[in-house]
A and B are shown apart, each in its own frame.
Chain A
């Protein structure tokens, strides 16, 4: 119940950002919501099921291209986003069947090459995808300010839906089964958990919303190209965010996205020449001193308050 209240309150608070009328702030908030969606999605497979997936970039790029291509064929924008989600779902089911029998590092490497594979496919089919030249996405014919608001609301809604899904999953039999798999897959199997189906389910959940985020992103920036939407950072940043916020928790991924992007922005503004090094240093320090994520700080506080 608390989780739902936090989700609704947080969403409402963020939505009120549009009142500020500051487009820089809106742009930042849109990116935060996008990464919150990616991090929250990664948490299904990486946090709940314990499978370190690097396939996020693949689903993002897939969603972006599917939606962009269909919109250029005349499909309405919102329908394009929906189809992008379905495409990511179908693709994750197919790929999951191929690589989810691998574990640990082997799974990580297999999931990493999926984005590269898709990128090559896009590069070698210029007639359909524009190849290395990139692809224009139909522009929404409304004012710049209205666009900023619209895409912010779209990303916020997507992040909220993804988080709501996480809340439902965590309390369900499905979520419980994933926790069993994460802690001991062989034992889970012997206890009657259909590990294969459950892992595939988690992998699919880690793809659907990411595909839609990619589609919304494509409509937002109006132009996509392979190095942009298949960027390996799209796979790595969500993972860092989840580790930062708290693995396998509900709001950890969202908090992680907030904190990492805020850091990025501040560091980038003040230390332009060495911002990558400074950011790396901050991440290392956080992981060393807060291995269970930022949420563990709050939890320790709560426990200490209890007289025991």
Chain B
């Protein structure tokens, strides 16, 4: 298996706070990796470091063998790293179609606007938004907006897609649909990092899980092994619960 993304001792400080502290892990081409951790663990900050939104205070990030630590967000986007936002970020006054066309035009290699529109229609069909193509993005429901985020990211023709809590705020039916769609994206050969709160989602979809706590990586491994780990249970449920229920490798 080839390594697509490699983090080496990546850190980010905000003043005295170590939001991300010496995190290292790799993502293999074609895999679905779950990134979990309690609130404030540094998951979104870590994604911001990878995508260049915040520069790393220390450490290096390599994508497909290339050092991308100091690249700017638009450069990283054009290399094939796409992300969705935890809080959806559409262009509210543009139509749904134009929103997706932006991804195709600026990062997806479409040579002109018309080509971008054609590509955008495909991605809207894939995400089930074809009927809403000409509506302003601001009129979509939350579930639709999350799918719009996905369609925009796909239009960038990503090699690695980071889904930041795409399922937060959705009802169980909508979550099942979103999971189904994530798997379909993976089948196209896109490597995926799923950042999630919902255990059900992570367990259902991830081949491997990375657990962050207080900005540090505390465990990586297969989903079931990770969930039995004492430190992971401690991080989520507290030390008392952990000593009663874990397999006690502390």
B103 contacts A191, C-beta separation under 8 Å: yes
Q: Which of A4-12, A150-158, A178-186 contacts B (4 or more CB under 8 A)?
A: A178-186
B202 within 8 A of A: no
For B82, list chain A residues within 8 Å (CB): 190
B74 contacts A183, C-beta separation under 8 Å: no
Which of B82, B106, B152 gathers most chain A CB within 10 Å?
B106
For A179, list chain B residues within 8 Å (CB): 91, 94
Query: What is the CA–CA distance of A192 and B103 in the complex, to the nearest angstrom?
Result: 7
For B94, list chain A residues within 8 Å (CB): 179-180, 183
CB distance from A193 to the nearest CB of B (A): 5
A192 contacts B92, C-beta separation under 8 Å: no
Contact of B91 among A183, A189, A192, A196 (CB under 8 A): A183
For B110, give the chain A residue with the smallest CB separation: A173
A191 contacts B152, C-beta separation under 8 Å: yes
B105 within 8 A of A: yes
CB distance from A247 to the nearest CB of B (A): 11
Query: Known: A173-B113, A179-B91, A183-B93. Is A191-B53 also a contact (CB below 8 A)?
Result: no
B90 within 8 A of A: yes
For B102, list chain A residues within 8 Å (CB): 176, 180, 188, 191, 193
Query: What is the CA–CA distance of A68 and B106 in the complex, to the nearest angstrom?
Result: 42
For A187, list chain B residues within 8 Å (CB): 85, 89-91
For A176, list chain B residues within 8 Å (CB): 98, 102, 105, 113
CB distance from B46 to the nearest CB of A (A): 15
Which of A184, A190, A192 gathers most chain B CB within 10 Å?
A190
For A183, list chain B residues within 8 Å (CB): 91-94
Range for the number of chain A residues in contact with chain B: 10 to 19
Query: What is the CA–CA distance of A188 and B89 in the complex, to the nearest angstrom?
Result: 9
For A191, list chain B residues within 8 Å (CB): 74, 77, 102-103, 106-107, 152, 156
Number of interface residues of B (CB under 8 A): 27
Query: What is the CA–CA distance of A10 and B83 in the complex, to the nearest angstrom?
Result: 46
B85 contacts A189, C-beta separation under 8 Å: no
CB distance from B85 to the nearest CB of A (A): 7
Contact of B156 among A177, A180, A192 (CB under 8 A): A192
For A196, list chain B residues within 8 Å (CB): 72
B74 contacts A192, C-beta separation under 8 Å: yes
Chain B 58-96: CB-based contact to A (< 8 A → 1; otherwise 0): 000000000000001110011000110100011111100
CB distance from B152 to the nearest CB of A (A): 7
CB distance from B120 to the nearest CB of A (A): 12
Query: Known: A177-B106, A192-B78. Is A186-B53 also a contact (CB below 8 A)?
Result: yes
Query: What is the CA–CA distance of A184 and B51 in the complex, to the nearest angstrom?
Result: 17
CB distance from B109 to the nearest CB of A (A): 10
B249 within 8 A of A: no
Query: What is the CA–CA distance of A113 and B241 in the complex, to the nearest angstrom?
Result: 61
A222 within 8 A of B: no
Chain A 187-209: CB-based contact to B (< 8 A → 1; otherwise 0): 11111111110000000000000
B91 contacts A193, C-beta separation under 8 Å: no
Which of A184, A186, A196 gathers most chain B CB within 10 Å?
A184
For B98, list chain A residues within 8 Å (CB): 176
A residues in contact (CB < 8 Å) with B = 173, 176-177, 179-180, 183-184, 186-196
Q: Can you name 12 extra interface pairs (CB under 8 A) apart from A184-B89, A190-B74, A191-B152?
A: A176-B102, A183-B93, A187-B90, A189-B72, A189-B73, A189-B74, A190-B82, A191-B103, A191-B107, A191-B156, A193-B74, A196-B72
